[in-house]
Chain A
Amino acid sequence: MPSCKQVTYMVSESLDGRVLCWRERIKLKIHLSMCKACQRMVRQMELLRASASLLGNTEKDETQLKQEKLSQESSDRISAHLRQAQQDAGDDAY
């Protein structure tokens, strides 16, 4: 039977998309049916995935997150770069 440590690695691997063979699946299932700590770990791993995917789609969830903004300083800097790029493009065009 796999140890709790091995089970944590198997769960992580299966989150990465590795398909466990039937033997591993049975061992995992039996272990989880008997081990409350590892059941919690699985739920936590799943929550990590859901949280990450929520952050990855931040555009849709801006209200949930702190409203960070570009600083005036960096906004000015970017503005200057953009003007320069437009100027260069203009020079090329005419």
Chain B
Amino acid sequence: MNNDPGNIAQKTDPERWLQDFGDALFRYALRQLHDAAHAEDMVQETLLAAFQARASFSGHASEKTWLTGILKHKIIDFIRKQVRESTVDDINALSDGATRSDVDDLFDHRGHWIRPPQDWGNPDKALHNHQFIEAFNRCLERLKPAHAQIFSLKELLGQSIEEICKELDITATNCSVILYRARMGLRRCLETQWVGNAPEKRS
């Protein structure tokens, strides 16, 4: 074994990154993309990019933080590309106004709730509940991909509306409408996935 501290190749061995951080990076990507094959691709691209950019690793941050930062950019690029490719029609349909489909049948013609929201109990408890987070994930997977991805950019990755609009080349109104749809879709899905199965309701 070579323990020479000056051996850079050993310190930045990308296969060791894969071994040490591969699973963590994969989980990070999976949380945002909700697709194992895509998440695997992101890990591969991240490690390759990290290897190419290894000279820029300053050592100020931990390797894991550095790699996660690269992964985050890869994920944003990927979502951008997907949304651009897959949602032109979707976005065009939305620009007619938020007056159709999934959201509408929640309200009557005067805009009153037909199915009023149920009580979800204590929000802090829900947040610390495994089953709630899993239900949230399932519901995110059920949204239209474009809705889920824009919601992820905004709420998981913390991008601003302005950034999202600019990157995806859509108007702020379209973006708000999509986020509104996504939130209403998630809310509705959780009414059955979470409230319908809430453990405390059964006992």
A12/B176 in contact, CB under 8 A: yes
How many angstroms from the CA of A4 to the CA of B36 in the assembled complex?
38
Most buried by B among A56, A77, A85: A56
A78 in complex: contacting residue of B40, B110, B117, B158, CB < 8 Å: B40
Given the complex, which residues of A lie within 8 Å of B28, measured CB to CB?
58-59
Q: A12-B183, A56-B155, A85-B48 are in contact. Are A47 and B18 (CB under 8 A)?
A: no
B117 contacts A86, C-beta separation under 8 Å: no
Q: Flag if A82 contacts B14 (CB, 8 Å).
A: yes
User: Count of A residues near B, CB < 8 Å?
Assistant: 54
Contact A65/B133 with A47-B120, A59-B28, A85-B52 known, Cβ cut-off 8 Å: yes
B146 interfacial contact with A, CB 8 Å: no
Residues of A within 8 A of B51 (CB): 82, 85-86, 89
Known: A17-B161, A47-B127, A55-B31. A83 touches B22 (CB 8 A): no
* A74-94 Cβ-contact flags toward B at 8 Å (1 or 0): 110111011101100100000
Whether, in the assembled complex, A23 has its beta carbon less than 8 Å from a beta carbon of chain B, the answer is no
Contact pick for A51, options B113, B132, B157, B160, CB 8 Å: B132
Q: Decide: B43 and A58 in contact? CB cutoff 8 A.
A: no
A44-68 Cβ-contact flags toward B at 8 Å (1 or 0): 1111111111111011001011111
Which A residues form the contact surface with B (CB < 8 A)? 2-6, 8-9, 12-13, 15-18, 36-38, 40-41, 43-56, 58-59, 62, 64-71, 74-75, 77-79, 81-83, 85-86, 89
